[in-house]
Amino acid sequence: MHNPTRSTNPWLKLPAGNSGAELNLVCFPYAGGHGALFTAWAKRLPTRVQVIGVELPGRMSRLHEQPFTRITDVVPCVAAAIAALSRPAAFFGHSLGALLAFETARWIRRECGALPLKLIVSGRRAPHLRQPNRLLHTADDRELVNLLKRWGGTPPEVLGDTELLAFLLPVLRADIELVDTYSYRDEPPLECPIAAFAGVGDPETRGAALDAWSMHTNSRFERHMFPGDHWFIRSSEAHVLRTLEHVACV
């Protein structure tokens, strides 16, 4: 355990200040995302919460690093960075980030005998459920852009900017490969509570696909539904943050 307020580890993005925080909220990004997307939440959550964004290689301050393509390579690096922090931590991850948060919690349990206080998963079906047999990361650039259009969540001005796409697409392709190559392995359920967030219009998390997260905890499980589709964390952000504060801090 080291400095409770700052980290020089490239895997973690912390906003300045907030030395009086009581809880680290470690946020894992969705495909193509970066840590600063979540540290912006720090101004809208109570000061007792220190928001920490996980920063994967290939973006923002790590732009010139090669993106990872295997979750098994990412998790030990993120887990080691988190283990070096003081304060209790809760994990939040959206979409790809939910898988990363889940596997990081399991890695820390195996290697350190510790657990987050809460695991909050968002916009992702339970990890043991069979995923569609597809290799989207092998699509060419035009197909990837069309996928982005269908998925939503990417501003039209980005989709129409060839220079921005030149930076975005390699990172997105690598992040999609993280999901495409993910292989769930059985382990005992976690002892920490799990909360699952989803948009009512998101087909990824319909019905049992979301509730199946309950199999991965021996503690409390709760589900929270929000107006919107897969990107409800943006369209219903105020509602999400109110719920996140309650779930993480109680």
| Contact (Cβ atoms closer than 8 angstroms) between residue 50 and residue 16 | no
- Helix and strand totals (H; E) in the chain: 9, 7
| Contact (Cβ atoms closer than 8 angstroms) between residue 100 and residue 123 | no
Q: Using CB atoms within 10 A of its CB, is residue 140 exposed (0-12), middle (13-18) or buried (19+)?
A: exposed
Best CA proximity match to 196, nearest among 185, 180, 184, 207: 207
Helix (H) or strand (E) holding 71: helix 71-83
| Contact (Cβ atoms closer than 8 angstroms) between residue 25 and residue 90 | yes
Could you list the active site residues? 95
Three-state SS at 191: coil
